[in-house]
């Protein structure tokens, strides 16, 4: 459907010669949005100006920049190419950037996300760099079905998944590393006991639904942080889930903080995220010196590429964990965060770290240490993993029945 002018414009975009301005046309009239050219990222759109042209708003919420328009809500994580469109995490070809008070997003957000034909809110013409309100004519044609129902039904487990998935569950800490003491835990119990108990329940729940599970530990033993992901989550592993318990150092009112949060690997973006990463990386000090692990140049680059490739999947998994925990956890939904965890840094696969709650808060501690609370947490984690795997199957067309 791309005519010659479109192809020409796309070729120019590929050469880094993006348009100088974007025209936004709606019932409110036409607005020109001046773009900025970035040598690596191409044409960047100032989000505030775009929002005004769309009749929407921009606000900063936690680490995210949120754009609200008549056709949806979009969340950007500055410093990453991630945009969350209300249902899924998408990856743009370049990062969202903040400079001063302005947030700049790649033009691809406009052309691919905002003007996604499935959304039917806006139509983008690359030839004229125009964003027009309303769907294009040709999206009214229904999409053809891509799979035969019979083939799909044959291959599926009762959970709705195809067989063959494997997930690694990593109960944090263990052995000589107790994790955080948990002020309100029953006497003798520390973080390492809670993570193991919940981790084993998650395993049982996933296996019951036909997902294979590898545990980094099933007993009270110490596994080096750097070994957990690479040794226990290899090529056939779909997701690495590290389970932990949060805590605050004593200071006035510290026992009031509660709630659950899920991290994926990236540079810490807030002081609080850095605090959690520092706390969990503390486990490194319990580790026995081993042979020096020299990181070769090429390995390092490969690792970096793989980490980037899995950023979107990891972020989405984190988001699903949060939305499922919300159903069983009466503490605060502290959201999806990013930080630099040693345990995730070595992962070659999508990887997340869940902080189930605060051991320094009475209600959270109770939820995490009672059998019913642990079961509820474990079931919702398993639900989140299943939801993630289902989405992943749909996206990749995994299995023979796919598209
Ligand atoms: Zn921990």
**Is 273:263 a contact under the CB 8 Å cutoff?**
yes
Q: Do 130 and 30 share a structural domain?
A: yes
Q: Do 223 and 334 share a structural domain?
A: yes
Taking the centre of ligand 1 as the mean of its atom positions, its distance from the CA of residue 273, in whole angstroms, is 13
Taking the centre of ligand 1 as the mean of its atom positions, its distance from the CA of residue 359, in whole angstroms, is 10
The whole-model pTM stands at 0.62
**Is 24:30 a contact under the CB 8 Å cutoff?**
yes
Taking the centre of ligand 1 as the mean of its atom positions, its distance from the CA of residue 245, in whole angstroms, is 5
Taking the centre of ligand 1 as the mean of its atom positions, its distance from the CA of residue 240, in whole angstroms, is 15
Q: Where are the beta strands (DSSP E) in 285-389?
A: 333-339, 351-358
Q: How many domains does the chain have?
A: 2
Give residue 335's pLDDT.
Answer: 92
Taking the centre of ligand 1 as the mean of its atom positions, its distance from the CA of residue 180, in whole angstroms, is 7
Position 146 confidence tier, pLDDT thresholds 50, 70, 90: very low
Taking the centre of ligand 1 as the mean of its atom positions, its distance from the CA of residue 192, in whole angstroms, is 8
Cβ-count burial 7-22 (b if 16+ within 10 Å, e if not): eebeeebeeeebbeeb
Whole-angstrom Cα distance, residue 116 to residue 205? 37
Taking the centre of ligand 1 as the mean of its atom positions, its distance from the CA of residue 283, in whole angstroms, is 8
Taking the centre of ligand 1 as the mean of its atom positions, its distance from the CA of residue 378, in whole angstroms, is 16
Q: What is the mean pLDDT of the chain?
A: 81
Give residue 57's pLDDT.
Answer: 85
Q: What mean pLDDT is predicted for residues 299-323? A: 73
Give residue 292's pLDDT.
Answer: 35
Taking the centre of ligand 1 as the mean of its atom positions, its distance from the CA of residue 272, in whole angstroms, is 15
* 146: exposed, middle or buried (Cβ count in 10 Å: 0-12, 13-18, 19+): exposed
Q: Do 168 and 114 share a structural domain?
A: no
For residue 113, what is the domain's CATH number? 3.30.457.10
Q: What is the pLDDT of residues 350-400, one digit of tens each?
A: 889 999 999 999 999 999 999 999 999 999 999 999 999 999 888 776 543
For residue 246, what is the domain's CATH number? 3.40.630.40
Taking the centre of ligand 1 as the mean of its atom positions, its distance from the CA of residue 293, in whole angstroms, is 24
Taking the centre of ligand 1 as the mean of its atom positions, its distance from the CA of residue 244, in whole angstroms, is 4
Q: Do 199 and 271 share a structural domain?
A: yes
DSSP letter string, 14-42: HTT---SEEEEEETTEEEEEE-EEETTTE
Q: Do 227 and 80 share a structural domain?
A: no
Taking the centre of ligand 1 as the mean of its atom positions, its distance from the CA of residue 228, in whole angstroms, is 13
Range of the domain at 327: 164-285+298-395
């Amino acid at each position: 459907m791309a005519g010659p002018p479109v192809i020409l414009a796309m070729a120019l975009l590929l050469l880094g010669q993006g348009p100088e301005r974007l025209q936004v046309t709606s019932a409110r009239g036409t607005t020109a949005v001046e773009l900025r050219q970035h040598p690596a990222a191409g044409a960047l759109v100032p989000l505030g100006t775009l929002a005004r042209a769309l009749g929407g708003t921009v606000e900063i919420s936690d680490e995210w920049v949120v754009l609200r328009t008549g056709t949806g809500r979009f969340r950007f994580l500055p410093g990453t190419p991630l945009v969350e469109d209300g249902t899924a995490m998408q990856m743009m070809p370049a990062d969202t950037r903040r400079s001063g008070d302005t947030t700049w997003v790649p033009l691809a957000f406009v052309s691919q996300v905002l003007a996604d034909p499935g959304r039917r809110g806006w139509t983008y013409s690359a030839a004229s760099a125009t964003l027009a309100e309303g769907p294009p004519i040709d999206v009214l044609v229904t999409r053809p079905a891509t799979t035969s129902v019979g083939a799909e039904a044959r291959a599926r487990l009762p959970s709705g998944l195809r067989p063959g998935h494997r997930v690694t569950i990593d109960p944090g800490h263990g052995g000589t590393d107790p994790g955080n003491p948990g002020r309100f835990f029953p006497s003798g119990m520390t973080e390492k006991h809670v993570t193991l108990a919940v981790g084993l329940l998650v395993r049982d729940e996933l296996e019951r639904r036909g997902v294979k599970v590898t545990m980094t530990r099933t007993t009270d033993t110490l596994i080096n942080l750097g070994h957990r992901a690479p040794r226990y989550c290899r090529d056939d592993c779909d997701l690495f889930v590290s389970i932990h318990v949060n805590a605050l150092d004593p200071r006035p009112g510290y026992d009031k903080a509660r709630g659950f949060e899920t991290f994926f690997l990236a540079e810490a973006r807030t002081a609080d995220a850095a605090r959690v990463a520092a706390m969990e990386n503390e486990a490194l000090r319990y580790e026995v010196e081993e042979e020096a692990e020299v990181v070769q140049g090429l390995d390092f680059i490969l690792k970096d590429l793989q980490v980037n490739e899995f950023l979107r999947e990891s972020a989405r998994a984190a988001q699903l964990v949060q939305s499922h925990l919300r159903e069983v956890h009466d503490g605060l939904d502290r959201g999806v965060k990013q930080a630099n965890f040693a345990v995730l840094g070595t992962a070659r696969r999508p990887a997340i770290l869940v902080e189930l709650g605060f051991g320094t808060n009475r209600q959270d501690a109770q939820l995490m240490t009672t059998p019913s609370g642990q079961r509820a947490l474990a079931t919702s984690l398993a639900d989140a993993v299943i939801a993630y795997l289902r989405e992943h199957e749909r996206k990749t067309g995994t299995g023979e029945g796919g598209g």
